[in-house]
Amino acid sequence: MFQEMPSNEMGPIVMPPHKPIRALLLDDSNFDRERIRRMSSKTELGVHLDEVGSIEELDTAVRQASYDLIMIDYRLPVGDGMKALSHILDDPLNRDAGKIMITGDAAVDTAVQAMRGGCHDFLTKESMNADILREAMLNAMTVARQRIQMQMQTEHQRDIIRQGLIAALNDIEIQGNVVSMIREKLAQTPSNQARPMSGLDASEIDALLAGFADEDEFVFH
């Protein structure tokens, strides 16, 4: 199993006993689906497993339900696991689900490709058992949750910076200082490079600066 745990590890995810794990398995082999279904039931995680055999069926499933975990067979008759992964990442309902790539070989390059592509863990069918599957499920959901939290924290920080800069640009004294700085920089710019900015008069520069306070045009929007 190929694992990726962030440095700020939060520990394994603990699912409430009343909330089963809603999982989706993409595998074209009836034999392998039955095998993974049996192992899933032995993980004692309360896994509710939906199964599909093609990317087309996967697309239908992810449009109709929200999953905690999606397991993807790499080798498919039409397309492959990476194509299936891209479809999941494009789906607003399930792009943040924990994702595990499953393959019939232990190719390291396939594992690396899957992890770089957005999977949270990687399994081989030959080595898989209930304990390994359980660990991969918990790991994938934990990493997925951590990434969501990191994205939320980053967006919150960006919003704080955005609001602070907007407030600063709305301050008359700061606006005056910035306008003076812009004029000074324009004055230092060679004439053949300063057009059309050097042709702006004071009111036009003030209007340009005021536009920076518009959130629809702001650089962080």
Domains of the chain: 2-147 (3.40.50.2300), 155-211 (no CATH)
Q: What is the pLDDT of residue 157?
A: 72
Q: What is the pLDDT of residue 8?
A: 42
pTM for the predicted model, two decimal places: 0.64
For the record, the structure tokens of 38 come out as: 């049996």
Q: What is the pLDDT of residue 181?
A: 73
pLDDT bin (cut points 50, 70, 90) of residue 3 is very low
Query: Distance (Å, rounded) from C-alpha 198 to C-alpha 150?
Result: 43
Query: Distance (Å, rounded) from C-alpha 216 to C-alpha 166?
Result: 11
- Which is higher by pLDDT, 5 or 54? 54
Pick the range with the lowest mean pLDDT from 16-20, 127-131, 182-186.
16-20
Average pLDDT over residues 156-163: 70
Query: Distance (Å, rounded) from C-alpha 197 to C-alpha 181?
Result: 13
Q: What is the pLDDT of residue 179?
A: 66
Q: What is the pLDDT of residue 192?
A: 58
Mean residue pLDDT across the chain: 79
Q: Give yes or no for a contact between 3 and 139, defined as CB atoms under 8 angstroms apart.
A: yes
Look up residue 201 and give its DSSP letter.
-
pLDDT at position 162 over 60: yes
